[in-house]
């Protein structure tokens, strides 16, 4: 998963863009980058690390211009340490284009061949985002062969591009001496919102971003979500125009955004994430009542921080005491991912410190947002047992994650998922819990639709194995299980 931001304003954009990227830092902590534009001049700085580590005050001083795009990144597979695959990407023909992308293309292999051998454009890395950048550049070139560069030519290029792309994508791009372009895949899998701010001189600044939380933190008002298949153009003069650039768009927002990815102060598709997570706790409590009516629970404790709203709601629904049982050391959250179980144990122990009096001699219900590999869950349960817990029940606000995610979530292939081909009792044994309790998928959908009943569908393939783009076969999934590069 990644976070993207694009801004058009009437004053230098560098510090504003930097602050906006900090607002989506939770969506990507492996690499970061900023690009700005001053007329037909473009400036770029990107690299490995957090935005504060990649962009210095010196860098800000030469990132000139009133238009900018930025990106923070988690790779969906491979390439984690390659600085060349940090965004934004740049091509100099036609016009000069900078592009940043959140998501994952599922037809990268075919698209790369087309770009190289039919579009005659060179691709330097294995990144699907660089392939996307060159495919966009080619379509823009085709739409302007006999025409001036204008909004209609850009919309036509995106219409053609949407016919070539498969997968999930939200994109921000700058075209030299023209303006900012943003567009979203026809299923709306990855989120993208539009915001505006009225400046002191009554001019209007616009921002496109992955989440509304960064609009709030920079003084922008949320206008709306960018629609599936929609493209938005904001010229250097601040004029905005939008158009649906796909014949059959239909919203299928990634449901994992509401479980884990999005920040709780964001609003996605008119659903406050905080309310959705509270509702997840409500439905999880109903599951416990229905299937485990005699379960003796002395205390409900969240695994901080994302599971907290669900845990509070669950405890209230069951009438069971809620307590904070872990102190989280946020200073170690951004350390490199452990390479073996011993390193993982040390990392988790240094990240979470138990408050022993909340565990000692108690039947503890631990609530987490999800269970993926099960390795973190196992280490957390060990900490709780060492703190004196009598019985540990582990509840997941998300359903069983059994299938590979292919649309842009940093998640292992299906063969590394603890719930793949295991019963609940086998999962409980694997993570060291006395009992494991999962959210029901239909209840997860209800937790969102009860807030916005107009959402027609969800992308929930990691839970149900239904890949809505209809291009994922066993060969593709097996290539992921075998460690093939796909992002």
Tens digits of residue pLDDT in 258-274: 999 999 999 999 999 99
Q: What does the alpha-carbon distance between residue 369 and residue 392 come to, in Å, rounded to a whole number?
A: 16
Which whole number is the average pLDDT over 171-187?
A: 98
For residue 98, give the nearest of 20, 35, 152 by alpha carbon: 35
Which whole number is the average pLDDT over 200-226?
A: 96
Q: What does the alpha-carbon distance between residue 484 and residue 425 come to, in Å, rounded to a whole number?
A: 31
Mean confidence (pLDDT) of the chain? 93
Q: In this model, does residue 394 exceed pLDDT 90?
A: yes
Q: In this model, does residue 486 exceed pLDDT 80?
A: no
Question: Which of these is catalytic: 2, 245, 254, 462?
Answer: 2
Confidence label for 1 from pLDDT (cuts 50, 70 and 90): confident
pLDDT at 334 (0 to 100): 53
Name the class of domain 276-330+339-452: alpha beta
Which whole number is the average pLDDT over 333-354?
A: 63
Q: What does the alpha-carbon distance between residue 74 and residue 25 come to, in Å, rounded to a whole number?
A: 10
Q: In this model, does residue 407 exceed pLDDT 90?
A: yes
Residue 245 falls in the annotated catalytic set: no
Q: In this model, does residue 175 exceed pLDDT 80?
A: yes
Confidence label for 329 from pLDDT (cuts 50, 70 and 90): confident
Q: What phi-psi label fits residue 81: left (phi over 0), alpha (psi between -120 and 50 degrees) or beta?
A: alpha
Q: What is the pLDDT of residues 98-109, one digit of tens each?
A: 999 999 999 999
Q: What is the pLDDT of residues 207-217, one digit of tens each?
A: 999 999 999 99
Kindly give the pairing relationship between strand 326-328 and strand 352-354: antiparallel
pLDDT at 200 (0 to 100): 86
Calculate ∠ Cα 88-306-418, nearest 5°.
Answer: 90
Helix, strand, coil percentages in the chain from 3-state DSSP, rounded to 5: 35, 25, 40
For residue 267, give the nearest of 275, 279, 255, 259 by alpha carbon: 275
Judge contact between 427 and 418, C-beta under 8 A: yes
Which tokens in the block code for residue 318?
């069951």
| CA 323 distance to own-chain centroid | 29
Judge contact between 328 and 352, C-beta under 8 A: yes
Which whole number is the average pLDDT over 44-55?
A: 95
Which whole number is the average pLDDT over 225-243?
A: 97
Q: In this model, does residue 218 exceed pLDDT 90?
A: yes
pLDDT at 349 (0 to 100): 66
What's the CATH superfamily of 2-250?
Aminohydrolase, N-terminal nucleophile (Ntn) domain (3.60.20.10)
pLDDT at 358 (0 to 100): 96
pLDDT at 346 (0 to 100): 57
Judge contact between 134 and 105, C-beta under 8 A: no
| CA 158 distance to own-chain centroid | 22
Q: What percent of the chain has pLDDT over 90?
A: 85
Q: In this model, does residue 80 exceed pLDDT 70?
A: no
pLDDT at 216 (0 to 100): 96
Which whole number is the average pLDDT over 354-376?
A: 96
Q: In this model, does residue 485 exceed pLDDT 50?
A: no
pLDDT at 347 (0 to 100): 64
Q: Is the peptide bond before 91 cis (omega within 30 degrees of 0)?
A: no
Element (H, E) at 31: strand 31-38
Q: What is the pLDDT of residues 414-439, one digit of tens each?
A: 999 999 999 999 999 999 999 999 99
Confidence label for 125 from pLDDT (cuts 50, 70 and 90): confident
Which whole number is the average pLDDT over 326-345?
A: 62
pLDDT at 176 (0 to 100): 96
Q: In this model, does residue 78 exceed pLDDT 50?
A: no
Q: What does the alpha-carbon distance between residue 37 and residue 236 come to, in Å, rounded to a whole number?
A: 9
DSSP letter at 399 equals: -
In the chain, the N- to C-terminal Cα span, in Å, equals 11
Which whole number is the average pLDDT over 235-246?
A: 97
Q: What does the alpha-carbon distance between residue 287 and residue 282 come to, in Å, rounded to a whole number?
A: 9
For residue 351, give the nearest of 371, 335, 330, 323 by alpha carbon: 330
Q: In this model, does residue 340 exceed pLDDT 60?
A: no
Alpha helix segments (H runs only) across 181-272:
213-217, 256
For residue 220, give the nearest of 212, 230, 231 by alpha carbon: 212
For the chain, give every domain's residue range. Answer: 2-250, 276-330+339-452
DSSP letter at 240 equals: E
Among 19-28, 243-252, 332-341, 477-486, whose mean pLDDT is lowest?
Answer: 332-341
Select the more confidently predicted residue: 295 or 478: 295
pLDDT at 77 (0 to 100): 46
pLDDT at 369 (0 to 100): 96
Q: Which residue has the tokens 């954009």?
A: 13
């Amino acid at each position: 998963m990644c976070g993207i931001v694009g801004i058009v304003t009437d004053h230098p954009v560098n510090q504003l863009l930097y602050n906006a990227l900090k607002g989506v830092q939770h969506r990507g902590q492996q690499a970061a980058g900023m690009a700005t534009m001053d007329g037909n001049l473009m400036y770029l700085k990107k690299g490995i690390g957090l935005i504060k580590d990649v962009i210095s005050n010196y860098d800000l001083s030469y990132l000139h211009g009133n238009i900018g795009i930025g990106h923070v990144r988690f790779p969906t597979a491979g390439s984690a340490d390659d600085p060349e695959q940090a965004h934004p990407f740049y091509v100099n023909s036609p016009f000069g284009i900078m592009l940043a992308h959140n998501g994952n293309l599922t037809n990268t292999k075919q698209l790369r061949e087309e770009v190289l051998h039919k579009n005659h454009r060179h691709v330097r890395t294995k990144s699907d985002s660089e392939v996307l950048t060159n495919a966009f550049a080619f379509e823009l070139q085709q739409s302007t062969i006999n025409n001036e560069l204008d909004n209609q030519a850009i919309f036509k290029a995106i219409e053609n591009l949407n016919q070539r792309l498969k997968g999930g994508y939200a994109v921000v791009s700058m075209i030299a001496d023209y303006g900012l372009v943003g567009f979203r895949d026809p299923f709306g899998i990855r989120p993208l919102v539009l915001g505006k701010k009225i400046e002191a001189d009554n001019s209007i600044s616009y921002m496109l971003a992955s989440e509304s939380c960064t609009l709030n933190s920079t003084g922008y008002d949320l206008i709306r979500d960018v629609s599936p298949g929609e493209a938005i153009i904001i010229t250097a003069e601040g004029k905005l125009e939008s158009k649906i650039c796909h014949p059959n768009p239909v919203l299928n927002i990634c449901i994992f955004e509401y479980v884990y990815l999005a920040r709780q102060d964001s609003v996605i598709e008119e659903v406050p994430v905080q309310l959705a997570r509270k509702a997840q706790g409500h439905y999880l409590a109903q599951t416990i009542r229905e299937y485990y009516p005699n379960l003796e629970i002395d205390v409900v404790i969240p695994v901080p921080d994302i599971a907290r709203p669900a845990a509070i709601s669950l405890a209230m629904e069951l009438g069971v005491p809620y307590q904070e049982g872990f102190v989280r050391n946020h200073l170690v959250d951004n350390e490199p991912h452990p390479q073996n179980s011993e390193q993982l144990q040390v990392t988790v122990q240094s990240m979470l410190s138990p408050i022993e009096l909340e565990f000692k001699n108690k039947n503890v219900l631990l609530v987490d947002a999800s269970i993926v590999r099960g390795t973190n869950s196992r280490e957390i349960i060990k900490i709780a047992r060492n703190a004196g817990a009598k019985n540990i029940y582990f509840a997941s606000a998300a359903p069983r994650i059994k299938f590979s995610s292919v649309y842009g979530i940093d998640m292992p292939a299906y063969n590394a998922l603890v719930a793949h081909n295991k019963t609940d009792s086998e999962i409980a044994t694997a993570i060291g819990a006395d009992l494991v309790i999962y959210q029901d998928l239909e209840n997860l959908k209800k937790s969102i639709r009860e807030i916005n009943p107009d959402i027609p569908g969800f992308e929930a393939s990691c839970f149900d194995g239904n890949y809505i783009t209809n291009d994922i076969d066993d060969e593709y999934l097996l290539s992921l299980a075998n460690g093939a590069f796909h992002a």
